[in-house]
Chains A and B, each alone.
Chain A
């Protein structure tokens, strides 16, 4: 950091010296903030540019003129792309896949996390090790075989082809297990003493103490599914059944638009804005969720 280079100079008079040092540290703080703000602007710029390009008419965007805001902002790109492509369908498909997939996978992860954290049963260690190894296996390796499985089940081109294979979520199971380890055994024993069955114990006693965990799992799961690309690309075929990212990727090579980049940026904007809103509302949980994928 630039600020770290500045060292306090030795001072002879204590009182004026302190105040000048204070002034210096004050100035340094503002310098640092200004520097960080500049970097932040650079970091956010690409997303800003996406929105600007979506609002820029073709004439101006297809020029080598430098501008930061269009002369005549227009929603023409949005109306054109929504009129010629089934963007609403893509959004609907994405929403369906992301919400149903997240809901089911959170249940699967909670159950598995609970069993792995709170029960001793035969094969537990092996099962957990096998689960964790799958983190290492990139989807490209199992892409073709997984496609064969889905094709065998007759699911190609249906939303279930996207939902089912992603229900098993190792990271989610891992986070759930870590959290459940922190639920006191005494709590579970107490519920059993009161005569509660296994399921009742889970739903009435364990689950209510897992609020923050569920929040993290939901937000992470939704984001990953909303943004998922390669698997939907392989199993979805008809233009009507695509999700937003796959639809978006088909547009870059679509010659049908007056201003292809304007259309692409319009759909990109529509794809990012819902997540940005979720991010701004649930910022704490969101950051916590991303951070917790780093626990190992």
Chain B
């Protein structure tokens, strides 16, 4: 939290500080009040206006339309008929929705803790003085740069069961190739693997920033007291990182719930419905099944899940802070 805030502000601070210093010399104490009265009322609206208008046109209006659509039966764009809460009732007895929710759970539980654990391990390792540390950090970060579509096509090719390098390598050492994306039993696992790959660099960077803000005196004191490396990690580092962990958890869950490009390119939700997560199902309902109303209702369900999760998480963090 704070370390990144600091790194952001630090470079600007010196210039700002000197200018502020000269200002306090120049201005008498009462001047602040006079100028505040002189401040133009229109100014904030001018500055925030463009953002506000864009928000209105491309966020708020679409959301309102989406809510309206969720109460309609709309086959194609435009004309729809009001059906009350029918779409929401359909959700209760939709077996595909149950599959999608279960897949979403598996995908989220598979990706989030794994990516965070690997990111933490890499951050702890790379926080020490090691030869080639800067280069290693950069290398772990590289996958973040690639677009979801690019990741999707590369990984589809690597995991191609006939010509992909993954199976070619397995066969070269005498093992049997795996079906990867082509079997309902391994497709989800492959996707989790790929998404973890894209995510570890991000987790590592955030953890590294937090680790650097832990005073080294603390660790040294613990070492003098005879704490082993593992004890220091478990009793000192992990609790100090708790706020970062909680932020990363929220962000990673949001990323996982919204993960679309990679799944769309690699499996399109298949084989069968084995990798159809909720967001995929929303897209499918809207564009493949042309059930706009139902898709809107499903989308709002997803928003609800995201909101509930964020609020729960916030309350948990607050409670933890009170306990400490």
Listed in ascending order, the chain A residues whose CB lies under 8 Å from chain B are: 1, 3-5, 7, 29-30, 32-33, 36-37, 39-40, 43-44, 46-47, 49-50, 53, 61-67, 107-109, 111-112, 114-116, 119, 121, 124, 127, 130-131, 133-138, 140-149, 164-165, 167-168, 173, 175, 178-179, 182-184, 186-187, 189-190, 192-193, 197-199, 202, 205, 208-213, 216, 223, 226-230, 245-246, 248-249, 252, 261, 264-265, 268, 271-272, 275-276, 279-280, 283, 287-288, 290-296
Contacts and interface: CB of A to CB of B under 8 A. Distances in A.
Contacts of B69: 144-145
A134 B20 contact: no
Interface stretch (B5-13, B90-98, B106-114): B5-13
Interface of B: 1, 4-5, 7-9, 11-13, 15-17, 19-20, 22-24, 26-27, 31-32, 35, 38-41, 43-52, 54-55, 57-66, 69, 77, 121-122, 124-126, 128, 130-132, 136-158, 160, 162-163, 165, 167-169, 171-172, 197, 200-202, 205-206, 209, 228-230, 233, 247-248, 250-251, 254, 257-258, 260-261, 264-265, 279, 282-283, 286, 292, 295-296, 299-300, 302-303, 306-307, 310
Contacts of B63: 137, 141-142, 145
Nearest to A271: B150
A141 B149 contact: no
A291 B209 contact: yes
Nearest to A247: B149
A43 B19 contact: no
A252 B59 CA distance: 32
B124 A1 contact: yes
Contact of B265 (A37, A136, A252, A294): A252
A148 B77 contact: yes
Contacts of B146: 47, 227, 272, 275
A285 to B, nearest CB: 10
Contacts of B230: 4-5
Given A4-B230, A149-B58, A190 B136 contact: no
Contacts of B38: 192
Given A7-B229, A49-B158, A142-B62, A179 B9 contact: yes
Nearest to B134: A283
A296 B150 contact: no
A290 B198 CA distance: 13
Nearest to B41: A121
A208 B126 CA distance: 34
B163 A268 contact: no
Contacts of A49: 154, 157-158, 165
Given A64-B162, A112-B50, A198 B43 contact: yes
A292 B69 CA distance: 36
Contact of A187 (B16, B44, B152): B16
A213 B143 contact: no
B55 A130 contact: yes
A261 B157 contact: yes
A230 B261 contact: yes
Given A140-B260, A230-B260, A296 B1 contact: yes
A43 B200 contact: yes
Contact of B39 (A62, A192, A245, A292): A192
- Which of B55, B126, B140, B233 gathers the greatest number of chain A CB atoms within 10 Å? B55
Contacts of A30: 131
A212 B8 CA distance: 7
A1 B153 contact: no
Across the A-B interface, the 3 shortest Cβ-Cβ residue pairs? A190-B23, A141-B299, A227-B147
22 contacts: A44-B142, A46-B143, A46-B158, A47-B146, A47-B154, A49-B157, A66-B168, A111-B47, A134-B59, A138-B257, A144-B286, A144-B296, A165-B58, A179-B9, A182-B8, A190-B20, A198-B40, A227-B149, A271-B149, A279-B141, A287-B205, A295-B247
B197 A43 contact: yes
Contacts of B265: 249, 252
Contact of A193 (B27, B62, B145): B27
Nearest to B7: A288
Given A145-B61, A294-B247, 17 more contacts: A46-B155, A111-B47, A121-B41, A138-B303, A142-B59, A144-B65, A145-B69, A164-B58, A182-B16, A189-B31, A198-B46, A202-B47, A216-B8, A227-B150, A265-B154, A287-B137, A296-B251
